[in-house]
A and B are shown apart, each in its own frame.
Chain A
Amino acid sequence: MKKDTAITLRAFLIELVVYGMLVVAYFFFVLHFLGAWLHGLETAHRSSYAGLTILLIIGQAVVLEGVTTFLLRLIGGRSE
Chain B
Amino acid sequence: MYFPISDAHIHPAYLVSVGFLIGVLGGFFGVGGSFIAGPALRAVGLPWNFAVGTDLAHIVGKSVVAAKRHRALGNVDFRLGFIMAGGTIVGAEGGAQLIEMLKRAGNVNLVVSLVSIVVYVSISSFMIWESWKTLLQNRSRKTKRATQSDHSAFGHVTRSIQRLHLPPMIELPASGVKAISLWVILAVALVGGLFSGFLGGGAGYIRMPSMVYVLGIPTHLAVGTDLFEIIISASYGTFTHAMKGNVDILIALVMNTGAAVGAQIGAISTQYFAGPKIRLAFVPLPLIGAAIVIYTLITGHKI
Instruction: Please give the residue numbers on chain B whose beta carbons come within 8 Å of chain A beta carbons, in ascending order.
Output: 1-5, 12, 16, 57-58, 60-62, 64-65, 68-69, 72-73, 231, 235, 238-240, 242-243, 245, 247, 249-250, 252-254, 256-257, 260-261, 264, 268, 271
Which residue among B1, B254, B257, B264 has the maximum number of chain A CB atoms within 10 Å of its CB? B257
Assess whether A61 is interfacial by the CB under 8 Å rule. yes
Tell whether, in the assembled complex, residue B60 and residue A54 are in contact, meaning their CB atoms are under 8 Å apart.
Answer: yes
Tell whether, in the assembled complex, residue A50 and residue B61 are in contact, meaning their CB atoms are under 8 Å apart.
Answer: no
13 more contacts with CB within 8 A, not counting A57-B253, A58-B235, A61-B260, are A35-B3, A46-B242, A46-B245, A47-B243, A50-B240, A53-B252, A54-B60, A57-B57, A57-B238, A57-B252, A57-B256, A58-B64, A60-B61
Contact residues of A: prevailing secondary structure: helix
Tell whether, in the assembled complex, residue A64 and residue B239 are in contact, meaning their CB atoms are under 8 Å apart.
Answer: no
Contacts of A75 in B (CB 8 A): none
Measured CA separation A31–B250 after assembly (Å): 7
Q: How many A-B residue pairs have CB under 8 A?
A: 100
User: Which of B62, B73, B249, B261 sits near A19, CB closer than 8 Å?
Assistant: B261
Q: Smallest CB-CB separation from A16: which chain B residue?
A: B261
Q: How far is the CB of A21 from chain B (nearest CB, A)?
A: 12
Tell whether, in the assembled complex, residue A34 and residue B250 are in contact, meaning their CB atoms are under 8 Å apart.
Answer: yes
Tell whether, in the assembled complex, residue B260 and residue A64 are in contact, meaning their CB atoms are under 8 Å apart.
Answer: yes
Tell whether, in the assembled complex, residue B250 and residue A35 are in contact, meaning their CB atoms are under 8 Å apart.
Answer: yes
Measured CA separation A46–B64 after assembly (Å): 24
Q: List 20 interface pairs A-B (beta carbons < 8 Å), by A numbering.
A: A27-B1, A31-B250, A35-B3, A38-B249, A42-B5, A46-B242, A49-B242, A50-B242, A53-B252, A54-B235, A56-B249, A56-B253, A57-B58, A57-B256, A61-B256, A61-B260, A62-B64, A65-B68, A65-B260, A80-B271
Measured CA separation A47–B252 after assembly (Å): 18
Tell whether, in the assembled complex, residue B239 and residue A53 are in contact, meaning their CB atoms are under 8 Å apart.
Answer: yes
Tell whether, in the assembled complex, residue A61 and residue B61 are in contact, meaning their CB atoms are under 8 Å apart.
Answer: yes
Measured CA separation A38–B68 after assembly (Å): 28
Measured CA separation A46–B65 after assembly (Å): 27
Which residue among A36, A52, A60, A69 has the maximum number of chain B CB atoms within 10 Å of its CB? A60
Closest CB pairs A-B (n = 9)? A50-B242, A61-B64, A64-B260, A61-B61, A39-B4, A57-B61, A53-B249, A23-B257, A65-B65
Q: Smallest CB-CB separation from B260: which chain A residue?
A: A64
Contacts of B4 in A (CB 8 A): 35-36, 38-39
Contacts of A50 in B (CB 8 A): 238-240, 242-243, 247
Q: How far is the CB of A69 from chain B (nearest CB, A)?
A: 8
Contacts of B245 in A (CB 8 A): 42, 46
Q: How far is the CB of B93 from chain A (nearest CB, A)?
A: 17
Given the interface contacts A49-B242, A53-B239, A60-B61, does A68 sit within 8 Å of B260 by beta carbon?
yes
Contacts of A42 in B (CB 8 A): 5, 245
Tell whether, in the assembled complex, residue B247 and residue A79 are in contact, meaning their CB atoms are under 8 Å apart.
Answer: no
Q: Smallest CB-CB separation from B247: which chain A residue?
A: A53
User: Which of B1, B65, B239, B261 sits near A51, CB closer than 8 Å?
Assistant: B239
Q: How far is the CB of A34 from chain B (nearest CB, A)?
A: 7
Mask of A10-39 contacts with B, CB within 8 angstroms, 1/0: 000000100100010011000100111011
Q: How far is the CB of A39 from chain B (nearest CB, A)?
A: 4
Contacts of A57 in B (CB 8 A): 57-58, 60-61, 64, 238, 249, 252-253, 256
User: Which of A46, A58, A65, A69 sits near B60, CB closer than 8 Å?
Assistant: A58
Contacts of A36 in B (CB 8 A): 4
Contacts of B235 in A (CB 8 A): 54, 58
